Amino acid sequence: MEAPTDAECPFCHPERARVIAQHSHFFVYQDGFAVSPGHTLVIPYQHVATIADLSADEQAALFPAVLNAQRRLDESHRPDGYNIGINQGAAGGQTVPHLHVHVIPRYHGDQPDPRGGIRWIFPDKADYWS
């Protein structure tokens, strides 16, 4: 892995035992506060806060790295679905200012009614089908 760029950033100093895979620009990491079994993060080596801060090459490599993480989870955890997302900026819920993509496996029965997925960040707007 490349040299860390921020002395205080937990993603610049990852726990080696939680690194699942490495790619040219990203590493795949077990989430320390998993919301479901297999919850994984795709993290750039470079300390950047947002997708816009990535180079064009890094942006092009991001989604293939996410798909690779999903394939690994398909094999190891056999989930029934996924939520894949990024919390960007304080208003978007980002607590670690180092870009990371959540790959969250979902399982039948993990929520009584999972419809609406990430829309539930605004509960009054989530149920659009009723």
DSSP H helical ranges for 6-103: 56-76
7 located within any domain: no
Predicted local confidence at residue 5, as pLDDT:
61
3 located within any domain: no
CA atoms 32, 95, 13, 46: torsion sign: positive
90 located within any domain: yes
Strands 81-85 and 19-22: unpaired
Number of domains within the chain:
1
- Token couple for 25: 């620009």
Task: Determine the structural domain holding residue 82 and report its residue range.
Answer: 16-126
2 located within any domain: no
One of 25, 39, 100, 102 is an active-site residue; which one? 100
List per-residue pLDDT tens for the chain, 130 residues long. Answer: 443 468 889 999 999 999 999 999 999 999 999 999 999 999 999 999 999 999 999 999 999 999 999 999 999 999 999 999 999 999 999 999 999 999 999 999 999 999 999 999 999 989 988 8
Question: Is the Cβ–Cβ distance between 123 and 98 less than 8 Å?
Answer: no
**CATH number, position 56:** 3.30.428.10
For the chain, the distance separating the N- and C-terminal CA atoms, rounded to the nearest angstrom, is 48
1 located within any domain: no
8 located within any domain: no
For residue 30, give the 3-state DSSP assignment. Answer: strand
Whether 100 sits among the annotated catalytic residues: the reply is: yes
Predicted local confidence at residue 6, as pLDDT:
83
